[in-house]
Chain A
Amino acid sequence: NAGVTQTPKFRVLKTGQSMTLLCAQDMNHEYMYWYRQDPGMGLRLIHYSVGEGTTAKGEVPDGYNVSRLKKQNFLLGLESAAPSQTSVYFCASSGPSRVTEAFFGQGTRLTVV
């Protein structure tokens, strides 16, 4: 039982490049989330999903897109990376009810130069 797995763990992008971060969970959770963590800013919600085929905007969605085609996967895309998107990205999942523990992936450290 791997829990929540993020791919890749590290990445360096040039400004304007695109990339996709993959989050996979094997706990059959309904709810999945993408957060970014910056020094002194805590964990800020980018986008989230309440079930397969659904997505919703969080606190800081601009510059990101997401998809949840399969229940176990939640993809975060950056279409045109900017230096302001340099951050550590965490995926999390929770379920089956709405108010239960969220399990986090190990994080992806992204640097945009």
Chain B
Amino acid sequence: GENVEQHPSTLSVQEGDSAVIKCTYSDSASNYFPWYKQELGKRPQLIIDIRSNVGEKKDQRIAVTLNKTAKHFSLHITETQPEDSAVYFCAASSGGSNYKLTFGKGTLLTVNP
């Protein structure tokens, strides 16, 4: 089955700096890679996603890059703000008959004012 590794497990940055979180996946059939943000005590919510036919996607301060050959993808947050502090999860899924979404273990991002 699919295995998703996520690094780092914790990340602390100063407000205004950039943050990068990296994930690798094992199943070459995976073709959908979402990123979720979970604030303390809340449910995970999608912040950005990318499909395997695209190498990069950007939405304001957030961007995701995908390297299918190396089977890794990354989340980039620029100009970080205190409200970006949360746990971020990457995930991977395939569109095969046994569709399921496999998550990484999460990264706790702390943005210090």
Interchain CB contact (< 8 A) of B93 among A40, A44, A99: A99
Q: Verify A48–B100 contact, CB threshold 8 A.
A: yes
Q: How far is the CA of A101 from the CA of B32 in the complex (A)?
A: 10
Interface of B with A (CB < 8 Å)?
1, 6, 9, 31-32, 34, 42-46, 49, 51, 89, 93, 95, 98-106
Q: How far is the CA of A65 from the CA of B31 in the complex (A)?
A: 29
Q: How far is the CA of A43 from the CA of B4 in the complex (A)?
A: 11
Q: Verify B9–A99 contact, CB threshold 8 A.
A: no
Q: Verify A50–B99 contact, CB threshold 8 A.
A: yes
A74 interface residue per 8 A CB criterion:
no
A56 interface residue per 8 A CB criterion:
yes
Tell me the nearest residue of chain B to A4, going by C-beta: B43
Q: Verify A45–B101 contact, CB threshold 8 A.
A: yes
Tell me the nearest residue of chain A to B103, going by C-beta: A43
Q: How far is the CA of A59 from the CA of B105 in the complex (A)?
A: 14
What's the least CB distance linking B8 to chain A, in Å? 13
Tell me the nearest residue of chain A to B41, going by C-beta: A107
Tell me the nearest residue of chain B to A50, going by C-beta: B99
Using a CB-CB cutoff of 8 Å, which residues 70-113 of chain A contact chain B? Answer: 90, 92, 94, 97-99, 101-102, 104-107
Q: Verify A101–B43 contact, CB threshold 8 A.
A: no
Q: Verify B1–A99 contact, CB threshold 8 A.
A: no
